[in-house]
Structure 1
Amino acid sequence: MLKVICERLRQGHRTAKYPRQDPVLPERFRGLPRLEPGGCPQDCRECLSSCPYGALQVDGGRLRLDMGRCIFCGDCSAACPHEALTFSRDHRLASRTREGLLTDGDVFALAGPLDRRMKKLFGRSLKLRQVSAGGCNACEADLNVLGTLTYDLGRFGIQFVASPRHADGILVTGPVAENMKGALLETYAAIPEPKLVIASGACAIGGGPYRDSPEVNNGLGDLLPVDLYIPGCPPHPYTVLDGLLRMLGRL
């Protein structure tokens, strides 16, 4: 026991300084997209044909990216000879609305807080039931990381619980496979009112790589009222944490 105590003293404080200090993510991390405000200078549209999931569109001569469909593969950025589309290392991607995930180069509106009543209820203590609705386990793995010493989700009063009866809401990952649809709806029904719904990852938001497959529901869609959308494939733990804290009015 003495050796364990000495080792802990040697290691010191291991929890990240976030949110007092912004995280520094690696160079290869693809975060908030940056689109030229004027659109593609040559209108060559090479980036559109390179996107495997139709996340890019041209609207009124301007490029527009749907982060709800985007899996942040970077193929569009590599295909664009004019560098009209690049990815920054900004981890802040979450939005309170589905429309808020559409970006065309203007300033991205960060997720806003819940209304006064809901923030009073959940602002200091939030219990979530995580539902994996047919995901590949990448989103689930990064959510598990939030419980480690580095991120320490519990210091913000946020915890994942085993039963929907003990939860304030659900955090859904995966494209909502047909064989998980009933279980998801039953879990939601078991949570007492008022309750929150969070869609985490491209699959939960719009189906991701499985979009339009007859075996999936293209994410939450209109199945449940969503309070927070967290894009990514998978979302970085800091992206999830940022979205949750902004929803609770903690940032």
Structure 2
Amino acid sequence: NCDGDEDAIMLLMDGLLNFSREILPANRGGQMDAPLVLTTRLNPTEIDKEALNVDAAWFYERQFYEATLHQPHPKDIADTMDFVERRLGSVAAVRGYGFTHDCNRIDEGPELSAYKTLATMIDKMNGQLNLCQRLRAIDARTVASSVIRSHFLPDLRGNLNAYGRQKVRCLKCGHSYRRMPLAGHCIQAQKAGGRGLSAHGIARSEGGLCNGRLALTVSEGAVRKYIEVTKHVMDTYGVDTYTRQNMEWLAGSV
């Protein structure tokens, strides 16, 4: 998988072949993120700081593996690592980066990831967590808890909040309301006919109410979509007590 190399080539070709000032919006901010300037020389001292944290070593020293037994803070052993930052000022800053696998063609990777080929979210979670169960270095229960806390729970909270504060929209005239009218239907004043009568001195009269049917703008399915898969993950792979109680409380609120 050479996603980084593919992205670099695609971004370069996008700037060279797929760009023109004529397609930039004229409004404010229209030139943001546009490839107006292409850099031809790479200066490692001028790039984003996080790129200086790239591990460029060809191998790790024995003391690195021994340090993992004590689980120190990464900063405590940073001096033993061969980061790009330590190569600044030398030719090695842009050459001689270590890697683990040779690659002759960057387009030989999978065209579709399993996230696209697997149909349902339950299938996707089973695929991820079944792999975790096969790997000795990974605790499937910890991964399941992390996915629920970082993805499913925030999504459920956000959608539940949006559902409670949503507007309603008239399917007939398109008018939206911040609160559902007590009448239960659209109360927007509807203008009556009278087109062409103004030439005869007859004013245009106002009609009755629209009385159109109102519809929600946030569906119930958007709130419930991850509840089933979350319960499946909790019952099948297990999660910590805090995550389970938090999810059960939110699901009960729905």
What TM-score do you get using the length of structure 2 for normalisation? 0.20
Structure showing greater radius of gyration is 2
Structure with higher helix content: 2
